[in-house]
Structure 1
Amino acid sequence: MAVALPKNFSEVRHHLQEPLIRNSFFIMASSLVAAGFGFFFWMIAARLYSQADVGIATALMSSMGLLILISRLGLDQSVIRFFPSRDKNRVLGTALLVPTAVALGAGLIFIAAVDVISPELTIVKTVAPLYLAFLGTYSITWVFEGAFNALRKSEHYFTLNLLYGSRILFLPPLIFLGAMGIFSAYGLSFVLGLILSLFLLSRCSVRPALCVDRVFLREAWQFSAGAYIAGILMSAPNMVIPIMVLHVLGAESTASYYITYAIVSILFMIPYAFTTSLFVEGSHGGEMKRSVFRTLASMFALLIPAIIGLSLFGEQILNLIGKDYVEGMALLRVLAFSAIFVSVCQTFISIAKVRNDLRSLIVISSFVSVALLGLGFTLMHLFGLIGMGYAWLITYVLGTILVVLILKRKGWI
């Protein structure tokens, strides 16, 4: 005889099976897996390599991330926005070919001008072919990650992040390369990710067309342009800050900042997961007001306990990586608390994307970018590394206030 499920259990199960929550779960699980592997990656790297090597490697990786960000042209966001209504193969092929070509061109310029842009990274000239190969692979896998989310197949995104954990295995055999050993371990995981992504996409009956869909480019450009500018403004500080810390405070402080930020990024992944899923559901025509409230409620239910836990046990976590990194504990606590305000800003950005409110999107992203970099540079000179934490908190508190003012002016609240 069948056993009736309690009503409340059935409602919970139904809630978890809804696309918004289900995809949020897998995106968040992917982020947590990435953070977990990232923790062990940096813990092992810190024990096998010198702190200076870790600092140089993180700056190299940040430079590559910045080039990827610049080359997106907003097309990674357009994949999510236009997948439901256009030929997926042509959209994906266009979103791969155009940005990757731009990324490689930007990479060549960076290598040629590195003596002027960042003299501390002149090592990139000696490994230019490898740097460009990893850059191209990173560019392609970045688009594939967005495609899995757009397909509502975030479980494949989760699988991909599991594979990225393989970078840990490359650290010991590459130790003789110093900073380039860490960088190569990072890049090789993207090569494996590219192979797996092609296989998983084929199972979804998606095969990127090796062509540029000019009609799609024209239709997507208005949306892509705004999303591109906003994406650069919001993400560029994450790529620029390690290079800025290297310039202001040196390689050791850069390593300390990067390790601390990598740990706190576990918290930032919670709003990223839920707001990405909110954007996907809004693009598929989901009811926005209800989705926004459910997103905020679910997000804070996880975020607040996580902030408390990380603040209490952060010192032990840093100590596991290395005694030299415990000095980042004050920075960790400030960054952790700022996650509350980061989540509000990220939610607003997803709302603005769905509503195609490009003006508000650019206003909030411009404010965050300029304030974070400007305050970070100033406060690091005054207070050292903790100054970067103060910059994060002040920027996102003011950003949250700006979000509330915009929402009131538009009558959305």
Structure 2
Amino acid sequence: MKESNKQLGRGTIYIYIESVAAMIFGYIFWIILSRIGTIEIIGTFSAIVSLAGIFSVIASFGIPEGNQRFLGKFFYQQKLSDAKIFVKSSLVLVCAGIILCTLLILILSDWIYTVFTFDFRLIVALIMLIASYTIFLLFHSIVISSLRTKILPTTMVASWIVRIVLASLMISVGVGVVGVAIAYTFGYIISCLILGIAIIMILKYANHSRSEASLSSATKDVSVSSLASWIPDLIMTIGIQLGTVVVFGTYGSNEAGLYFISLIIVTGISSVVHSIFTIALPALSSMIDGRKKFAWHTIRLSTIISLPFTSSLIFYSKDILQLIGQDYIEGSLSLQILLLSMLPTAVQSGIGSLVYSYGHYRKFLVIGLGASIPRVALYFLLVPIYGSTGASLAYTIGAIIGFAVSIVIAKRIGMLIFWKDLLLIFFIPMTLALVLSYLHVNYILAIIATIIGSNVLFFKLQILTSADIKYSLEILPERISSRISMLLTRYSRK
């Protein structure tokens, strides 16, 4: 059991590294793109990416999540022939979903042109992006189920390098937004090729054992399992991506570009936080006792990691957006409002992971609906009045309502929320960042000072303990974790 837990830890740490790499290289991509392209290109491309995100979840049918329940067990038990059957059935279902979505988009092409002014070239680029991203999601989930995730960070870095190089070339030769969309799609194609080879290598010994499952039964099992996660995922994705689409349809590409860049910054940080809960979910699901305590522990650590950084960005939003380009500085208010959603989103995600680990799918759905329904309704209400700022308000208000719903559900299942710790985690970095901003400290120094100062105070106030850090270090190689643990022990004695 101990060895399997170590394997789980070694596997899941690469998911976290992948998320951090995606955030860093994603920011580099958008900074370069904004420097060499126009805000119109960014705005139009943002609408394509947002629509592709929504349609990809529709096309996937929830298969990337639903198949993990079976594949995880088969890989753990070394039943590779059964795993191969389920991989095939998942691929068949996803390809069917891609074909259906393609037909739907072609049927709606006149409406898409009327609302978004997407010509046929952009519609083809949209379909290519949907197909590549959907298959990437499937292959990514299969690799995660195998716990052989060491390839994920390398794959992510390679895909972003391809995007950066190709997008730069496309814009330099004057291809415009179609070229950027093709470059972005090629990033996913590269990822699919690398992950596809990795999956083939994982399953290469599958023919040496007899499968107990048939393709038809596997398809049925995966379909039923996937429905439980498909609707919540679709609701969540619509809640996040629809804002850009509504802004683009109402105000055009310039305003959509302002909002989308701010959203990219926030969702990049959120993806790192979400990876922590992705890492925690298998552990939560395998526990008999202590799930609620572990869920709170995960929420606390995720907010300790994210809030010092996001607090700095709130007070230095103009400096951050200036890195992307002068045209984006006026989107600083949108960025500030979006960053305020980080705390409620982290708490909501932690409670959602706990509820999902218990198998309470209806409660999990209620949490998702609590955030997404108000968010979607407010997009249509606030965006026509306030533009990108209205979209940011809708996003953050939705997060706060989802937070309130998750707190009610946490109370019903008997989970304790330590409000004193949570409030200190919120106000300490906010206060430090406010003071540094008032003193006109350089934004780079202020961000570093806020992160270090906040964590020192967390440590002094016992919000963050050496035991927390030692627990987190268990998934690292022993030589690294033992040296850090020795340093922490010496520091705690002083």
One fold, TM greater than 0.5? yes
Match of 2:314 in 1: 311
Match of 2:59 in 1: 71
Distance of 2:255 and 2:122 partners within structure 1:
25
Match of 1:265 in 2: 267
Following TM superposition, by how much is the alpha carbon of 1:377 offset from its aligned partner in structure 2, in angstroms?
A: 2.2
Contact map agreement 1:249 1:384 (CA 8 A) in 2: yes
Residues 32, 273 of structure 1: CA spacing in aligned structure 2 closer, same or farther, 3 A cutoff? same
Secondary structure of the corresponding residue to residue 29 of structure 1: helix
Distance of 2:69 and 2:11 partners within structure 1:
16
- Give 1:239's match in structure 2, choosing from 225, 238, 241: 241
Matched, 1:168 2:168: no
TM-score by length of 1: 0.88
Match of 1:114 in 2: 109
Contact map agreement 1:103 1:135 (CA 8 A) in 2: yes
- Which residue identity is paired with 2:177? A
Following TM superposition, by how much is the alpha carbon of 1:122 offset from its aligned partner in structure 2, in angstroms?
A: 4.6
Secondary structure of the corresponding residue to residue 147 of structure 2: coil
Distance of 1:208 and 1:284 partners within structure 2:
26
1:123-168 deviation per Cα after TM superposition (whole angstroms, max 9, x unaligned): 3523555543443222111111122222223332222211121200
Paired residues for 1:1-400 under 5 Å: 18=6, 22-23=10-11, 25-86=13-74, 87-117=82-112, 119-126=114-121, 131-165=126-160, 166-175=162-171, 176-205=174-203, 213-283=215-285, 288-400=291-403
Contact map agreement 1:47 1:321 (CA 8 A) in 2: yes
Distance of 1:30 and 1:402 partners within structure 2:
31
- Which residue identity is paired with 2:188? F
Following TM superposition, by how much is the alpha carbon of 1:92 offset from its aligned partner in structure 2, in angstroms?
A: 2.1
Residues 355, 117 of structure 1: CA spacing in aligned structure 2 closer, same or farther, 3 A cutoff? farther
What is the aligned-residue RMSD (CA, Å)?
2.6
1:191-236 deviation per Cα after TM superposition (whole angstroms, max 9, x unaligned): 1111111222234346999x98332343344432121111101112
Residues 95, 350 of structure 1: CA spacing in aligned structure 2 closer, same or farther, 3 A cutoff? farther
Following TM superposition, by how much is the alpha carbon of 1:412 offset from its aligned partner in structure 2, in angstroms?
A: 4.4
Residues 386, 19 of structure 1: CA spacing in aligned structure 2 closer, same or farther, 3 A cutoff? farther
Following TM superposition, by how much is the alpha carbon of 1:347 offset from its aligned partner in structure 2, in angstroms?
A: 1.7
Following TM superposition, by how much is the alpha carbon of 1:73 offset from its aligned partner in structure 2, in angstroms?
A: 1.6
Residues 206, 345 of structure 1: CA spacing in aligned structure 2 closer, same or farther, 3 A cutoff? farther
Contact map agreement 1:89 1:207 (CA 8 A) in 2: no
- Which residue identity is paired with 1:178? G
Distance of 1:299 and 1:24 partners within structure 2:
15
Residues 197, 170 of structure 1: CA spacing in aligned structure 2 closer, same or farther, 3 A cutoff? same
Residues 370, 208 of structure 1: CA spacing in aligned structure 2 closer, same or farther, 3 A cutoff? farther
Distance of 2:73 and 2:287 partners within structure 1:
11
Secondary structure of the corresponding residue to residue 154 of structure 1: coil
Residues 402, 89 of structure 1: CA spacing in aligned structure 2 closer, same or farther, 3 A cutoff? same
Following TM superposition, by how much is the alpha carbon of 1:323 offset from its aligned partner in structure 2, in angstroms?
A: 0.5
Distance of 2:268 and 2:128 partners within structure 1:
28
- Which residue identity is paired with 2:40? A
Residues 23, 286 of structure 1: CA spacing in aligned structure 2 closer, same or farther, 3 A cutoff? farther
- Which residue identity is paired with 2:228? G
Residues 131, 208 of structure 1: CA spacing in aligned structure 2 closer, same or farther, 3 A cutoff? farther
Secondary structure of the corresponding residue to residue 153 of structure 1: coil
Distance of 1:20 and 1:328 partners within structure 2:
41
Following TM superposition, by how much is the alpha carbon of 1:118 offset from its aligned partner in structure 2, in angstroms?
A: 5.4
Segment drifting more, 365-374 vs 285-294 = 285-294
Following TM superposition, by how much is the alpha carbon of 1:254 offset from its aligned partner in structure 2, in angstroms?
A: 0.5
Contact map agreement 1:267 1:303 (CA 8 A) in 2: yes
Following TM superposition, by how much is the alpha carbon of 1:411 offset from its aligned partner in structure 2, in angstroms?
A: 3.5
Contact map agreement 1:114 1:122 (CA 8 A) in 2: no
Distance of 2:346 and 2:6 partners within structure 1:
21
1:220-268 deviation per Cα after TM superposition (whole angstroms, max 9, x unaligned): 4443212111110111222322111101222101011111111122321
Distance of 1:178 and 1:25 partners within structure 2:
38
Following TM superposition, by how much is the alpha carbon of 1:96 offset from its aligned partner in structure 2, in angstroms?
A: 2.0
Residues 338, 99 of structure 1: CA spacing in aligned structure 2 closer, same or farther, 3 A cutoff? same
Secondary structure of the corresponding residue to residue 72 of structure 2: coil
Match of 1:6 in 2: none
Match of 1:7 in 2: none
Contact map agreement 1:20 1:278 (CA 8 A) in 2: no
Distance of 1:394 and 1:368 partners within structure 2:
8
Distance of 1:284 and 1:345 partners within structure 2:
21
Following TM superposition, by how much is the alpha carbon of 1:273 offset from its aligned partner in structure 2, in angstroms?
A: 0.4
Residues 221, 131 of structure 1: CA spacing in aligned structure 2 closer, same or farther, 3 A cutoff? closer
Structure 2 unmatched ranges of 5 or more: 75-81, 208-212, 417-494
1:325-368 deviation per Cα after TM superposition (whole angstroms, max 9, x unaligned): 01111111221121111111112222232222121122111222
- Which residue identity is paired with 2:145? A
Pair member with larger Rg: 2
Distance of 1:23 and 1:298 partners within structure 2:
19
Following TM superposition, by how much is the alpha carbon of 1:70 offset from its aligned partner in structure 2, in angstroms?
A: 0.7
1:56-113 deviation per Cα after TM superposition (whole angstroms, max 9, x unaligned): 1111122222111112222111222222324222222222221222123212221331
